[in-house]
Amino acid sequence: MTISKKPIGISLLGCGTVGGGVIRLLRSNATRLAARVGAPLVIRKVLVRDLVKDRVPECERGWLTVNPDDVLGDATTDVVVEVMGGELPAYDYIRRAIDGGKGVVTANKMLLAARAHELVRHAALRGIDLAFEASVGGGIPIIRVLRQALASDSVESLYGIVNGTSNYILTRMCEDGLGFAQALAEAQAKGYAETDPTLDIDGHDAAHKMSVLAMLAFGVKVDHGNIPTEGIRSLEPIDLRFADRFDLVIKHLAIGKDHGSRIELRVHPALVSKRSVLANVSGVLNASYLEGRALGPCLISGRGAGDMPTAVSVVADIVDVARSKLAGAAGLSTSGISLEERPLVPLGEIETRYYLRFSGQDRPGVLARIAGTLGEHGVSIEQMIQDGRSAAPSEPVPIVMITHRAREAGVAAAIKAISAFDSVSDQTRVLRIEEV
């Protein structure tokens, strides 16, 4: 195989830290990349807002333009790389790039979360490759691994640790006993959490990524707003300490399971065994754990954010899109994505094990009533902790139970009934326990 003389033209929309990293990698690995693609990759245009601002030294002034038409109308540009972020005008620019027959690589998770289906459908119709590895899991090739598995396999279930901010906070709470507010403040001080951390800590960012992962793993079109989503804001150290005694740790998980005609998707904090491969995915690391029907289990973990890891993913996508382009086989990766509609399994119908912490009076018979009520709702107890005695008989004590697998509706009904007891407070803490 000789390397084609005709280069593949690459243009960037945006030149922030990820864009700068992409330019740096493209230039410093030019020979290697040309050998891999079969043609040199040449940068044509870089859309910026400010022509005089300092850029990475590898970025040539002559590429810069403030006019999107210079990029989208450039006949020598084969692949457009969108690293500007935000929903608009990124969406419009990508549509125009697709309409102009250019391959597209994007790292824009916000855009994908909101409009992945539209963009994928549009690109597939036009026979265009739309690659977005960097939009989920930063540098970790989650999409690549899903694609390999899905060439000839199907995904039974998927568990993702996809929000680095939440994972950092939970790691500090679990390992160092910090309270939520303290761990959040620390994450903010270190730049791991935004000033307004809502998107991350309330689980919305994870739900966004879940909708993209569900599209790839299960071929379903799902609105992230419909995914049952809980964040980590209300977690208390006391529960993490009890969990520790059961050899459990807490993780914020994005969970997807294929039930054939229906699909189970949910995003929430959950307890997992310390022996789980997900237990040691700590700090800002992300992970994706999938069970393939033929492949079996497969875990992939690494940095879910950061300029250079993200740039590595973007460049890997550029290589793929450029190769397909050169081979006259563009559009295959996009047309392979299915966008079926399948109903979600309601939360009440899911089945898992549960951690329950009741606050009950330390009086004879309270425990028996709780256990009896759980039993009436089909929930049986696997393990229990009730420590010592309370200081005063009127003071409630924590009663912690781990259940066997049970249906969520049964657990919810039992807790509602138990909360009506005089001897139990209505502040029962429920955490799902996942076998992963």
Measured distance CA(31)–CA(29) in Å, rounded: 6
Contacting a second copy within 230-289 (CB under 8 A)? 275-277, 279-282, 285, 287
Hey, which residues does 355 pair with through a beta bridge? Answer: 402, 431
- Which residue, 176 or 426, has its beta carbon nearer to a second copy? 176
The interface with a second copy within residues 117-156 (CB under 8 A) comprises 127, 139-141, 144-145, 148-153
Name residue 412's amino acid.
A
Binding-site residue total for a second copy (CB under 8 A)?
63
Residue 89: asked if its preceding bond is cis (omega within 30°), the reply is yes
CB 260 within 8 A of CB 424: no
Could you say whether residue 303 binds a second copy (CB under 8 A)? yes
- Residue number, 297 or 375, with CB nearest to a second copy: 297
Does position 329 bind a second copy by CB under 8 A? yes
Distance, in Å, from the CA atom of 266 to the CA atom of 224, rounded to the nearest integer, reads 10
| Least distance (Å) between residue 305 CB and a second copy | 10
Quick check: is 209 catalytic?
Answer: yes
CB of 281 to a second copy, least distance (A): 7
Q: Which of 45, 102, 109, 209 is catalytic?
A: 209
Kindly state whether residue 316 participates in binding a second copy, applying the rule CB under 8 A: yes
Site string for a second copy, 334-363 (x = CB under 8 A): -xx---------------------------
Longest CA span, the chain: 86
Query: Cβ distance 415 to 401 under 8 Å?
Result: no
Based on the shown chain and the rule CB under 8 A, indicate whether residue 32 belongs to the binding site for a second copy: yes
- DSSP per-residue string spanning 317-383: HHHHHHHHHHTT-TTHHHHT---B--PBPPGGG-EEEEEEEEEEES-TTHHHHHHHHHHHTT--EEE
Q: Could you say which of 57, 89, 179, 296 contacts a second copy (CB under 8 A)?
A: 296
**CA angle centred on 418, ends 365 and 240, rounded to 5°:** 95
Query: Kind and range of the H or E element at 143?
Result: helix 142-152
At residue 292, φ and ψ (nearest 5 deg) are -90, 145
Nearer to a second copy, 36 or 369 (CB): 36
Minimum Å gap between C-beta 149 and a second copy is 6
Q: Which positions touch a second copy (CB under 8 A)?
A: 1, 21, 25-26, 29, 32-33, 35-38, 127, 139-141, 144-145, 148-153, 275-277, 279-282, 285, 287, 292, 294-303, 306, 308-309, 311-313, 315-316, 319, 323-324, 326-332, 335-336
Catalytic residues, by residue number, are: 209
